[in-house]
Chain A
Amino acid sequence: AQTVTQSQPEMSVQEAETVTLSCTYDTSESDYYLFWYKQPPSRQMILVIRQEAYKQQNATENRFSVNFQKAAKSFSLKISDSQLGDAAMYFCAYRSAQGAQKLVFGQGTRLTINP
């Protein structure tokens, strides 16, 4: 079974600085998807970024980018120019590319932005 681990329960960063959230996963599959979801205090999870395992290029979405290291099974999220609105719980998630549609989530990292 696949597992996702986020080893940082909490992180904080100064506004306008850059922060990196870590995620590692375990799988025997070669084709899969990885996601970062943001869950603000209102508790609705929002998709931040998605990475297909077959793509070598790291995904980017504006200030959000990932560092996908397939061999190391690592998928970190970098937030540049942090803004107060980035404060949230961030979840890393895995989904198989074959059959199973379920998302397997990590424990989450609570990100605080200091003004």
Chain B
Amino acid sequence: EPEVTQTPSHQVTQMGQEVILRCVPISNHLYFYWYRQILGQKVEFLVSFYNNEISEKSEIFDDQFSVERPDGSNFTLKIRSTKLEDSAMYFCASGLSYNEQFFGPGTRLTVL
């Protein structure tokens, strides 16, 4: 059964550094999402992406964040200058329609 995959599983970075989290959605899916979960807190929506553009974003998704689908298979989340409070589990999700979201296993980001 096809799955959403994410790399790396764990990323450690220094505050102020740029990080790129990578996701490979299920191949025929059209809708893409990023969520994050700070340890002990709720899963929070960051951004949705459809037809090569952002369709919705949360207040968390400020100018430090960007998303890209560079080659038709990968879906990336870039954080330009990481802060301590960006430490979290980041989940990618994809769906064939807006009515479904299949999640990846997540990338744990640790900002030191």
Contact = CB atoms under 8 A, between A and B. Distances in A.
Interface of A: 33, 37, 42-47, 91, 99-108
A47 B100 contact: yes
Contacts of B105: 42-44
Interface of B: 3, 31, 33, 35, 41-45, 48, 55-56, 58, 89, 91, 98-106
A91 B43 contact: yes
Contacts of A105: 42-44
Q: Give the one of A46, A47, A102, A104 with max B CB within 10 A.
A: A102
Given A33-B99, A100-B56, A102-B33, A44 B42 contact: no
A107 B39 CA distance: 11
Contact of B101 (A99, A100, A103): A103
Contact of A44 (B35, B43, B45, B103): B103
A100 B45 CA distance: 11
Contacts of A45: 43, 91, 103
Given A33-B99, A101-B33, A107 B42 contact: yes
